Amino acid sequence: MLRPLVAAAVVAASFAVPTATAQEQPPPPQPAVTALVRGMSLEHKVAQLFVTHLNGQAADEVHPGNQRDFGVGTPAEVVAKYQPGGVIYFNNSSRDNIDTPRQIAALSNGLQRAGRIPLAVSTDQEMGLVTRIGAPATQFPGNMALGASRRTQDAEQAAAITARELRAMGINQNFAPDADVNSNPANPVIGVRSYSGDPNLAAEMTAAQVRGYQQRFLSPTAVSAAAKHFPGHGDTDEDSHTTLPRVDRTVEQWRELDAPPFRAAIAAGVDSIMTAHIRVPRIDPSGEPATLSKPALDLLRRELGYDGVVITDSLAMAGVRQLHSDAEIPVLALKAGVDQLLMPVDLGLAIDSVVAAVRSGELTEQRIDQSVLRVLRMKFLRGMLTSPYVDEDKVDSSVGAPENVAAAKAITDHTVTAVRNEALPLPTKPTAALVTGWGETSTRALAEALGGTALPTGSTPTEAQIAAAVQGAGSADVVVVLTNGLSAQPAQQTLLTRLLATGKPVIAVAVQNPYDVAHTAAPNWLATYSHGVGSMESVAKVITGEVKPNGKLPVAVPGPTPYPFGHGVSW
């Protein structure tokens, strides 16, 4: 068992590592960590490079998904069998690991007890659109909303609060922030996950969130951050979950448009950088996805001078599986320069393939040691080795604490953008507001905040729903219409046009991508970049004049009625 060796190593190392801020240069790998690697078998070293999914909400829960995927029953047995370096939590129906904060903390502790070396316990808590852990955890708007605020202090505070709550639940690695520059309005997978279409604004916000997540070395309230998706997923019109997108950037264009946020993340001391499953032929003519491309990762290692952990995006995604088998992919990723391998389809096959590649000479054991040292160094510097367990009795008072929720409300109030305005703020609070359009939760949250009536119509309103909304407008003193994907949904445009024709005051609100505002000339257009309850409460405050719309467009909006980057009106 390696637990005693781990304990001795980290105690020795604790005398050698000074407390430092995330911006400071970390110390070189500690001799104790090197000694730890020397005491590991090849199989155990290889396993440390993998981060796997699990099925179930308790460490000892027998789940059929674990039998199917791993040949054992419980999450703890998966960890005991394979000894991976990390695990990742999800909140979907097939791999649902998330229920309550206390449950998550208990799951984390149970998994840590099953590991010989403490685990990196991870999730994707980007905020906004990609949020794995909902309320009572404190909820923030996503990156583009923060970019609209232009307030780096808000971005840093949101990340620090998120880190503190994640760590209380035993999660010590967050796959955030998204450092992509969303330069393509048709991007189906990034969009509002990006701070901006401007590389400099995206860079400032990325650095701020890295500082917030990581705080200082060995902090018990920090998490390891991962800037993603290198070399940049912002100029695609395809989704790497379902295909292998192509990006036609030259190296010079990449340096100007996509590299700045990653440079900023590195300067802020980011622990890891996640690769993208995209092909960039002008960087690597072979057509390999960046995850498997040495020329692409050489830009990161050599040109940007990054020597931290490089982690793949999920190896179960179609974007990385189109050219090679599941056995070949992890070997090729390591040869390209990757360190951590996220979510292989078959964990046992992936580990065996890498071990076999070392035995055959395709990979050297020194190459494996290089990546293991990076991973263990990250674990030590973020306190994963020294403090793997959490206090389950304290988690409920830490997660969603009143001061955190108050901070989130204030931050969200800074994000709303008024793109066009003829009637706001309303002179008096409406007495009969009708809130209709996209999103049942969003329409109901905004209607409650305004004291009005909700009539959700979904993404593709039917003629009957449109007629009902028009009829409801007859008795309303103001109509608020929520949109999401307006240009691709003619029925949403019809709903808005028909409501404008009633002559009632109409306020249109783009609740996700701001590109909606170019497609219908409504007299009052607001953009929230996020459809969470908090964003709906903030937009209600803007409508009634309780707060001013301080946001500015963080992207240029093309279309029939275009708006430039930085546009926004206030009062």
* pLDDT tens over the chain, length 571 residues: 455 445 445 534 443 433 344 445 555 557 878 889 999 999 999 999 999 999 999 999 999 999 999 999 999 999 999 999 999 999 976 568 999 999 999 999 999 999 999 999 999 999 999 999 999 999 999 999 999 999 999 999 999 999 999 999 999 999 999 999 999 999 999 999 999 999 999 999 999 999 999 999 989 999 999 999 999 999 998 889 999 999 999 999 999 999 999 999 999 999 999 999 999 999 999 999 999 999 999 999 999 999 999 999 999 999 999 999 999 999 999 999 999 999 999 999 999 999 999 999 999 999 999 999 999 999 999 999 999 999 999 999 999 999 999 999 999 999 999 999 999 999 998 999 999 999 999 999 999 999 999 999 999 999 999 999 999 999 999 999 999 999 899 999 999 999 999 999 999 999 999 999 999 889 999 999 999 999 999 999 999 999 999 999 999 999 999 999 999 999 9
**What is the model's pLDDT at position 162?**
99
Do 33 and 2 form a contact (C-beta atoms < 8 A)?
no
Contacts of residue 568, Cβ cutoff 8 Å, sequence gap at least 6:
148, 417, 418, 419, 549, 550, 551, 552, 553
- Measured from the Cβ of residue 546, the count of other Cβ atoms closer than 10 Å reads 12
Asked if 277 is an active-site residue, the reply is no
What gap in Å lies between CA 344 and CA 293, rounded to an integer?
Answer: 18
Of 241, 352, 396, 567, the active-site residue reads 241
**What is the model's pLDDT at position 93?**
65
The CATH class that applies to domain 3-402 reads alpha beta
The CATH 3.40.50.1700 portion of the chain extends over 416-544
**What is the model's pLDDT at position 26?**
54
**What is the model's pLDDT at position 32?**
78
**What is the model's pLDDT at position 31?**
82
Please choose, from the candidates 47, 96, 69, 78, the residue with its C-alpha nearest in 3D space to the C-alpha of residue 346. Answer: 69
Of 124, 180, 235, 313, the active-site residue reads 313
What residue type is 390 in one-letter code?
Answer: V
Fold of 416-544: Rossmann fold (3.40.50)
Distance, C-alpha 512 to centroid of its chain:
15
Do 350 and 50 form a contact (C-beta atoms < 8 A)?
yes
Contacts of residue 541, Cβ cutoff 8 Å, sequence gap at least 6:
413, 449, 547
Q: Where do we find the tokens 């009957």? A: 464
Do 320 and 287 form a contact (C-beta atoms < 8 A)?
no
pTM of the model: 0.94
**What is the model's pLDDT at position 420?**
98
- Direct distance between the N- and C-terminal alpha carbons of the chain, in angstroms, rounded to an integer: 65
Distance, C-alpha 122 to centroid of its chain:
11
Q: Where do we find the tokens 């430092």? A: 20
Edge-to-edge, what's the strand order for the sheet holding 417-420? 417-420, 525-527, 506-510, 478-483, 433-437, 453-456
**What is the model's pLDDT at position 309?**
99
Query: How far apart, in Å, are the Cα atoms of 337 and each of 153, 230, 322, 344, 413?
Result: 34, 13, 20, 17, 42
Render the burial of 264-273: b for 16+ CB within 10 Å, e for the rest.
bbbebbbbbb
Asked if 180 is an active-site residue, the reply is no
What gap in Å lies between CA 199 and CA 188, rounded to an integer?
Answer: 19
Local structure of 565: helix, strand or coil: coil
The CATH 3.20.20.300 portion of the chain extends over 3-402
DSSP β-bridge partners for residue 557: 563
